[in-house]
Amino acid sequence: MRVHHLSCGTFCPRPARLLAGKGGWLEPTKLIAHCLLIEAGDRLVLVDTGLGTPEAENPHLVPLATRIAIAPRPAMAETAIRQIEALGLDPAEVTHVIPTHLDFDHAGGLFDFPQAEVHVHATELATALAPPIAERLRYMPVQWAHGPKWVEHSSWGEDWFGFEGVRPIEGIDPEIVLIPLLGHSRGHCGVAVKEDRG
């Protein structure tokens, strides 16, 4: 198993002093959308997608309030699909996408992988498809308007290193597990990947 770390979106919110602990109160800082590309046997697995080609082609797809708050800087070269191509891999071999949650900066690239199964916590999917008023700004339904192949997961599973409800994702690799970490969003999950170093 081989893991590639990708930066699939840049954001320049202010103030740097508060968000990064250095810089000025009026200066922007730089944050990235960190994604993983996992080569698991004959398939590719993408953990989070960052911003996708639709946002890179039209940054105004991102709601105005979000653009003001976190200042995304979509770039085609930073999309997961273009970075996979740059690695000499075929994006069509991405058979599974595991968004940790469906905030716009984690799910923007779903559009770019229509052939993939999208593994998501059932509560996260239900919330994203019908968000309460207070949570509507975090989700962008246009990102899944193409009709992804959703695979819903619930919280049940095994205890693992003090985490409850951990489960391997069937059909992928037993060394990739989903860890419910509800809180940041209603169905937020972590993903653990076992490789040679641990």
Question: How far is C-alpha 194 from the geometric centre of its chain's CA atoms?
Answer: 19
pTM of the model: 0.93
What's the pLDDT at 165?
85
Beta strand ranges found along 15-109 (DSSP E) = 31-40, 43-47, 94-98
| Counts for the chain of helices (H) and strands (E), in that order | 6, 10
The C-alpha atoms of residue 66 and residue 58 are separated, in whole angstroms, by 14
Q: Of 88, 92, 77, 10, nearest to 46 (Cα)?
A: 92
Q: How many CB atoms lie within 10 A of CB 138?
A: 19
Q: Cβ(102)–Cβ(125) under 8 Å?
A: yes
State the pLDDT confidence band at 156, using cuts at 50, 70 and 90.
confident
Long-range contacts of 164-169 (CB under 8 A, 24+ apart): 166/192, 169/96, 169/98, 169/119
76-124: per-residue pLDDT in tens?
A: 999 999 999 999 999 999 999 999 999 999 999 999 999 999 999 999 9
Bridge partners of 152, per DSSP, are 120
The count of C-alpha atoms lying within 13 angstroms of the C-alpha of 2, restricted to the half-sphere facing its C-beta, is 8
Bridge partners of 44, per DSSP, are 39, 94
